[in-house]
Amino acid sequence: MSLTICKKCEKIFPAGSANCPYCGALIAKKAMQIEKKGITNVLVGLVMLACLLFLLVLNTTKKTEPRGVLLHSCTVSNCPTGTGAVTASSEQEPYYTCKSRELSDYANYVMGLMLAQVNFAGSSSKITSKTGEPDVSQAQKPMLDAYRARAGVSTFEGALSKCYRGLGNMDVSVIENPKSGDSILVRSLSNPNEKFWLPRGKLDLRE
């Protein structure tokens, strides 16, 4: 509510009256000026608040942005030796790192099958007792057998005993990116002695 002051009796009262309710002095013109000024001040204040909020959001974004903008994964880039990249992982899409390309290809292929069955069926995969792998169709079985044979293991658990759960947001450098297979060999930048294979799709390039 806008207020005004009567110049004659110097009493304060709500603006909008043509005359002072205390002494009867004419104040309509002055009250309108004060009311308009009040509205203008509110609008100016809102604009300034919006500007401050914008600057605050912009400043926060600059402080929390990653070291570089993620461009794309090594599935769509050549990623030659020496390429700097970062690992990508989440609770919904985990992956494994292994000491050999064949183990990585197999372990992550099986993990992909499990995730696909959960996403499409909405429930956990039916696991076979012989290999510990998800139950697949006859059309998929030859490929799964081939992955397992190349890895040199007889069960999925056997592969996992030689692999590790992959981490996200690790800075790495590409050592080897063979044309065949699904995996790529990288070295950790924080620990140069640590080398491992992981799926190409779990390696993102930075700007």
Determine the Cα–Cα distance for residues 84 and 65; give it in Å rounded to an integer.
18
Q: Terminal CA-to-CA distance of the chain, rounded, Å?
A: 55
Provide the pLDDT for residue 155.
Answer: 97
Determine the Cα–Cα distance for residues 51 and 49; give it in Å rounded to an integer.
5
Determine the Cα–Cα distance for residues 69 and 203; give it in Å rounded to an integer.
13
Query: What is the per-residue DSSP string for 98-128?
Result: ESSHHHHHHHHHHHHHHHHHHHHHSSPPPBP
135 contact partners, CB below 8 Å, separation of at least 6: 125, 126, 127, 128
Chain centroid to Cα 9, Å, comes to 65
- Give the tokens for residue 68: 């570089």
The amino acid at 205: L
Give the containing element (helix H, strand E) for 50: helix 28-64
Provide the pLDDT for residue 40.
Answer: 56
Provide the pLDDT for residue 51.
Answer: 55
Q: Indicate if the pLDDT at residue 86 is higher than 60.
A: yes
Number of other residues whose CB lies within 10 A of the CB of residue 173: 15
Tell me if residue 73 falls in helix, strand or coil: strand
Q: CA quadruple 63, 65, 67, 68: dihedral positive or negative?
A: negative
Answer yes or no: are the C-beta atoms of 172 and 203 closer than 8 Å: yes
Q: pLDDT-based confidence at 12, cuts 50/70/90?
A: low
Determine the Cα–Cα distance for residues 22 and 14; give it in Å rounded to an integer.
12
Q: 31: left (phi > 0), else alpha (psi -120 to 50), else beta?
A: alpha
Provide the pLDDT for residue 16.
Answer: 65
- Percentage of residues in the chain having pLDDT higher than 70: 67
- Closest C-alpha among 60, 11, 16, 55 to residue 38: 16
Provide the pLDDT for residue 31.
Answer: 43
Q: pLDDT tens digit string along 107-134?
A: 999 999 988 888 877 666 789 999 999 9
Q: pLDDT tens digit string along 136-155?
A: 999 999 999 999 999 999 99
Provide the pLDDT for residue 27.
Answer: 65
Q: pLDDT tens digit string along 165-205?
A: 999 999 999 999 998 889 999 999 999 999 999 999 999 98
Answer yes or no: are the C-beta atoms of 74 and 200 closer than 8 Å: yes
Q: What pairs with residue 195 in β-bridges?
A: 187
Q: Give the pLDDT mean for 51-58.
A: 56
Q: What is the DSSP letter of 200?
A: G
